[in-house]
Structures are given as structure tokens and as C-alpha cells.
């Protein structure tokens, strides 16, 4: 003390790391990213292999439990997730209480939080300090149930947020469809007999779900863990993650991409737009990434998926503008120097072609990302040594001690 440099404390060196560029807060076995080489792996498996051969729900099991499931394990997982997809009837009133034009992300964020109110085990103070323990089967069963519920109900809540705005009745999840097929049914079904979703679109959405399922410690996942570090229930932690994802620099970017393309209008306006970006008057949404300093590997899967979808839906009129924008940015010194390349958010074009409204795009990001949030939450809860509350420090740069001044003496 006294001799200590300003950034040294009794616990070590305090560094200021704005935006956490160089701060690791956890040791993780879930997702590996090499941002320089454009590599993304879930539990060691390359994202390209999973997108080609796996399904969203199978990859969800992999992300959460660490290995690809056997047939039996998958059957059990799928049936539990699907069984928990049904909502309590009272939730209809909850959704109908929103203003007619409420943003679906506002509804969804609130809905995750509301979900916790249905389950008494959600309140950690009822359970004592250590909620989950590796050897304690009962606590692990509780955790599994919470995982099934949150993944199962994510599609139901999303579909309810959609249908209430369309003035449609809510539908119960059907029996016999896949996770993604059931989601499309809950969104689109208008009472037709023998309704089934288009298989090409169902597969395409499932691939998009799979590639959005996790991306290590992005803003929303960090928010989930930060929130859960106080040992709050997972429903509240997921609600916090949902709120974080809503922002235009994160999950809101897929919506921002379409708004940007609409505002550009057509390919001949691209050069002027690029110049405005370089003057910092505009943002090129769908470009740039905190971790990737080359093309996001998911962007190639998005492009391939788009080709499949457009065969069914027809080409989107904005596609030409998107391609002109991509080509212009990839050749421009401003973007090359800053290593800015396409990220995953051009998937907004696919969502638009499939008929989803623009403000629903971030919801299509949340539904699969619930899986990644839960994988990280489970890992943190079960880590050796227990959970340590996340409490960063600041570098205080405000006023020194001042004495209170009565209002009549203030100038
Ligand atoms: N358009 C124009 N310039 C950009 C862009 C962009 N999209 N992205 C970064 N830059 C510039 C910055 O202005 C900065 O320039 P400077 O060094 O001259 O000041 C430089 O590139 C570095 O960018 P940072 O903002 O420091 O990078 P950071 O890692 O903090 O931000 C982010 C990453 C938020 C994703 C950013 O690239 C961005 O705003 N992109 C557009 C929004 C978007 O697409 N977000 C989705 C991210 S992916 C996801 O959530 C799935």
C-alpha cells in the first residue's frame, strides 16, 4: 500500500479492457472460433459438417451435453423438448396484453421472464445456495427439465409473439413434426387440413437454426452468464440474453441489413452508399465482426441455403443490391484494411424470402441461440469450484471528495 501503482490491487493487476477485447472470463469446452482463419467448431465438429449432416436439435444435444447423441439419447431428448413445447393457457392473456404493434423482441424478452413465474423451482432462494451439483441426480434432473422447457417453449413463445400481431388464434404444437417443422406449423397454420411445412424451407430454416445455435461469448451469451452468476433462475438469465441480442450491433443486425438494402434501393446506388459508410455517416450492416477478421464461415452456408430457398420462393429483388454491395466492399481499401467481411446477418434475405416480417428476424436468432446460452449456463453451473459472481471493476475518473452545497448557494 502506498507503494502500489494505481492499477495494482491486493488481488493483482487491474486492467481496463473496454468492450472486453482481451478478457477471458471462463474456460470453455463448447465452441471454438479461429477468427483469423474463419473456423467455427461446436465441441470440435466443424460447422460445415454439422450443417451438412446434422439437425438443429441433434447439434443442440451436442452443444449442451458435449457429444453427439446415440439414437436412444436423441429420441429421449427430442421427445422431452417437444413435450415441453406446450404453453400454459394463461399465457394467451399475457401475449394479448401487449400493444397491437409491440416489437416481437419486446414480447419475447418479457415472455422468457414470465416463464419463470410458472415454476417454483425457478426461484433460487427456495433451493439454497448451490442449485446444481454434478453428483446430485435430482439437481441434474431439474436442470435437464429447465433445458427441455426453454428449448421447447422458445418456438411456442416466438410463434405466439408472431400470431398475436397478425390477429390470429394461437395453435398448440403438433405431434409428429420436427422441431423446426413444428415451429413453422405454429407460425403458419391457419386451420388447413393436413398442413405440413414446405420440406425445402423447413430444412433451410433448420440449417439456419443450427448455425445460429452458439457463438461462444458474444454479447448476449456473456449477458446470460453475467446474470446467472448471481444464481438467478435460467428463465431470467435467458430473458437478459434476449434483451442483449435485440441491439442492432448484435441480433438486430439481420433486420438492419434488410432496412439498409431497402434504403439503398438498387445496385447503381451502392457506390454512393459505400462512400457514406467511409465518411462514417452510415453503417454497413452485415459486415464486420469482433472475432472474425475474414469471412464468417457461416456466411458461406447462408449463401448455399439461400440458393435452395430461392428455388422455391423466387429470387428476392434485393439480392442484386446485396451482391453489388458485397462485391464493392470486398474490393475497397477501407474494408480490406480493417479486415471487414460479411458476417452471418445476410440471412435476413432468406427470412424475407420465406415471408417472415422484418422485425421478426431477431426472434429467428433467439430461438436457436437459446441452445447456446443454455450450454454455457449448464457448463458454468457445473464447473469445478462452483460459480463465482461476476463483478468487474472500473477505473474511476470522476471528482474527488466534495462537500454538499445547499441549493440556495449553488450557481
Ligand atoms: N461498416 C463500416 N465500418 C466498420 C464496420 C461496418 N460494418 N464494422 C467495423 N467498422 C470499422 C470501425 O469504424 C473501425 O474503424 P476505425 O478503426 O477507423 O475506427 C474498425 O472497422 C474496427 O471496428 P470496431 O467497431 O472497432 O470493431 P468491433 O469489434 O468493436 O465491432 C461490430 C464489431 C459491432 C460487429 C462491427 O463490425 C459492426 O458494427 N458491424 C455492423 C453491425 C453488424 O453487422 N453486427 C452483427 C455482428 S455478428 C452477430 O451478432 C451475429
Minimum CA distance residue for ligand 1 atom 13: 280
Is residue 290 lining ligand 1, measured as CB closer than 6 Å? yes
Given this model, what pLDDT does residue 286 score? Answer: 87
Is residue 94 within 8 Å of 108, Cβ to Cβ? no
Is residue 343 lining ligand 1, measured as CB closer than 6 Å? yes
For the segment 93-127, what is each residue's pLDDT rounded down to a tens digit?
Answer: 999 999 999 999 999 999 999 998 998 776 666 55
> Per-residue pLDDT for the chain (411 aa), expressed as one digit of tens each?
456 666 777 777 888 888 888 889 999 999 999 999 999 999 999 999 999 999 999 999 999 999 999 999 999 999 999 999 999 999 999 999 999 999 999 999 999 999 989 987 766 665 554 578 888 888 899 999 999 999 999 999 999 999 999 999 999 888 899 999 999 999 988 878 888 899 999 999 999 999 999 999 999 999 999 999 998 999 999 999 999 999 988 888 888 889 999 999 999 999 999 999 999 999 899 899 888 988 899 999 999 999 999 999 998 889 899 999 999 999 999 999 999 988 888 888 999 999 999 999 999 999 999 999 999 999 999 998 888 899 998 889 999 999 999 999 999
Given this model, what pLDDT does residue 12 score? Answer: 78
Give the ipTM of the model, two decimals please.
0.92
Is residue 58 within 8 Å of 64, Cβ to Cβ? no
CA–CA separation, 284 vs 141, rounded Å?
A: 45
Query: What strands lie across the sheet with 39-42, from one edge to the other?
Result: 31-34, 39-42, 45-46
Which of 260, 288, 338, 365 has the most ligand 1 atoms within 8 A of CB, as the residue to mutate? 288
Is residue 364 lining ligand 1, measured as CB closer than 6 Å? no
Catalytic residue status for 345: yes
CA–CA separation, 399 vs 11, rounded Å?
A: 25
CA–CA separation, 64 vs 164, rounded Å?
A: 31
Minimum CA distance residue for ligand 1 atom 24: 290
Q: Where are the alpha helices (DSSP H) in 174-269?
A: 179-188, 199-212, 219-228, 234-245, 253-264
Is residue 63 within 8 Å of 375, Cβ to Cβ? yes
CA–CA separation, 194 vs 175, rounded Å?
A: 12
Angstrom distances, CA of residue 172 to CA of 57, 86, 318: 20, 6, 35
Catalytic residue status for 289: yes
Q: How far is the CA of 288 from the centre of ligand 1 (A)?
A: 5
Q: 33 φ, ψ to 5°?
A: -125, 130
Which residues sit opposite 40 in a β-bridge?
A: 33
Closest CA to 274 of 265, 283, 266: 283
Contacts of 158 (CB under 8 A, 6+ apart): 104, 108, 183, 187, 363, 364, 366, 367
And the C-alpha cell for 401? 471528495
Amino acid at each position: 500500500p502506498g507503494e502500489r501503482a494505481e492499477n495494482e490491487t491486493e488481488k493483482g493487476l487491474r486492467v481496463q479492457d473496454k468492450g472486453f477485447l482481451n478478457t477471458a472470463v471462463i474456460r470453455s469446452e463448447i465452441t471454438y472460433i479461429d477468427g483469423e482463419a474463419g473456423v467455427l467448431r461446436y465441441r470440435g465438429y466443424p460447422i460445415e459438417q454439422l450443417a451438412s449432416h446434422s439437425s438443429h436439435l441433434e447439434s443442440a444435444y451436442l452443444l449442451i451435453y458435449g457429444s453427439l447423441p446415440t439414437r436412444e439419447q436423441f429420441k429421449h431428448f427430442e421427445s422431452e423438448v417437444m413435450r415441453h413445447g406446450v404453453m400454459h393457457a394463461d399465457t394467451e392473456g399475457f401475449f394479448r396484453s401487449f400493444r397491437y404493434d409491440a416489437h416481437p423482441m419486446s414480447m419475447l424478452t418479457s415472455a422468457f421472464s414470465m416463464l419463470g413465474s410458472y415454476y417454483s423451482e425457478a426461484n433460487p432462494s427456495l433451493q439454497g445456495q448451490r442449485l446444481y451439483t454434478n453428483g446430485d441426480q435430482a439437481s441434474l434432473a431439474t436442470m435437464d427439465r429447465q433445458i427441455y422447457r426453454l428449448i421447447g417453449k422458445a418456438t411456442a413463445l416466438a410463434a405466439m409473439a408472431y400470431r398475436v400481431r397478425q390477429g390470429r388464434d394461437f395453435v398448440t404444437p403438433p405431434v409428429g413434426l420436427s422441431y423446426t417443422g413444428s415451429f413453422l406449423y405454429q407460425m403458419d397454420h391457419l386451420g388447413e387440413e393436413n398442413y405440413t411445412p414446405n420440406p425445402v424451407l423447413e430444412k433451410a430454416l433448420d440449417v439456419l437454426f443450427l448455425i445460429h445455435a452458439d457463438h461462444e461469448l458474444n454479447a448476449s451469451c456473456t449477458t446470460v452468464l453475467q446474470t446467472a452468476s448471481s444464481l438467478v433462475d435460467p428463465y431470467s438469465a435467458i430473458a437478459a440474453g434476449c434483451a442483449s441480442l435485440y441491439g442492432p450491433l448484435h441480433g438486430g443486425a439481420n433486420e438492419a441489413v434488410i432496412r439498409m438494402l431497402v434504403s439503398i434501393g438498387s445496385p447503381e446506388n451502392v457506390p454512393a452508399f459505400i462512400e457514406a459508410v467511409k465518411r462514417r455517416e452510415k453503417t454497413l450492416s452485415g459486415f464486420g465482426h469482433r472475432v472474425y477478421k475474414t469471412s464468417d464461415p457461416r456466411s458461406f452456408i447462408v449463401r448455399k441455403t439461400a440458393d435452395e430457398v430461392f428455388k422455391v420462393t423466387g429470387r428476392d429483388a434485393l439480392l442484386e443490391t446485396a451482391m453489388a454491395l458485397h462485391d464493392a466492399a470486398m474490393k475497397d481499401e477501407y474494408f480490406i484494411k480493417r479486415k471487414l467481411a460479411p458476417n452471418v446477418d445476410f440471412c435476413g434475405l432468406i427470412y424475407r424470402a420465406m415471408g417472415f416480417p422484418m422485425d421478426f428476424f431477431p426472434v429467428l436468432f433467439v430461438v436457436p441461440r437459446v441452445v447456446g446460452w443454455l450450454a454455457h449456463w449448464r457448463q458454468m453451473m457445473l464447473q469445478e469450484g462452483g460459480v463465482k459472481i461476476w463483478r468487474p471493476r472500473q477505473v474511476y475518473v470522476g471528482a474527488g471528495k466534495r462537500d454538499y452545497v445547499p441549493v440556495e448557494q449553488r450557481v
